[in-house]
Amino acid sequence: MGRKTTIIETATRLFAQKGFAEASTAEIAETAGVAHGTLFYHFKNKQGIIQEIFTRAGSVYLRELRKSIAEYNTGMRQIEAALRFNEEYSRHHSQEILIFLRIFPDQLKGDAQSPEREFIDSIQQQVIAILHESLSAGIADGTIECRDIEETACVLNSLIFGVTHMSLMAPRYTPSLSEGAIAFCRQALQPSACAGKK
């Protein structure tokens, strides 16, 4: 494992355990077993580390989401696969997601042009586009009917985000929600549930 990867993995653990503000670059370097100067060789500052963490996590998420969906040949099955994949990803990447949920809301306030907002917008747009494709496929194959594909894709994206948020931030009070979310989507998107589509 290279030093850069070691720094990233160490920072991910410390940010998840202590918070972004509380974990210093000195502590990250010491825990990773590298010199402080080595950390700054790879990253300009702590913000650079967090951006790298989420760039990597976002790339993995999108790649694996597309791979999971591609295994199914109907639109509805693809939507179900997206919801199940999200739960599985959240379970195996809980540290990255917890950092995301705790840090980014504060960093997004009042700065429409921040790198954080651009990152979130990019990931959200790509997820919505993937869901849009699955909805379109479902309409074509007869497993889905909805009035507005774009709006429905946004609603599904919000459902995915909400399930993830509740599962990680309030796990003691939240059972596994993916199967319930899937049942909800089946009911809402079945051809008899809507009258016509755009």
Burial 168-180 (b: 16+ CB within 10 A, else e): beeeeeeeebbee
What is the residue extent of each domain of the chain?
A: 1-43, 49-193
- Name all contacts of 175-179 with Cβ < 8 Å and 24+ positions apart: 176/87, 177/87, 178/83, 178/84, 178/86, 178/87
pTM of the model: 0.83
> 57 near 96, Cβ under 8 Å?
yes
The length of the chain, given as a count of residues: 198
Q: Which of 70, 92, 192, 81 is nearest to 142 (CA)?
A: 192
d(CA 97, CA 74): 29
Give the model confidence (pLDDT) of 116-125 as tens digits.
778 888 898 9
Name, in order, each residue with C-beta under 8 angstroms of 184's C-beta and a sequence gap of 6 or more: 159
Give the model confidence (pLDDT) of 160-191 as tens digits.
988 887 777 766 556 677 888 999 999 999 98
- What is the predicted pLDDT for the residue at 111? 57
d(CA 132, CA 128): 6
**Which top CATH class is 49-193?**
mainly alpha
Give the model confidence (pLDDT) of 127-141 as tens digits.
999 999 999 999 999
CATH superfamily to which 1-43 belongs:
Homeodomain-like (1.10.10.60)
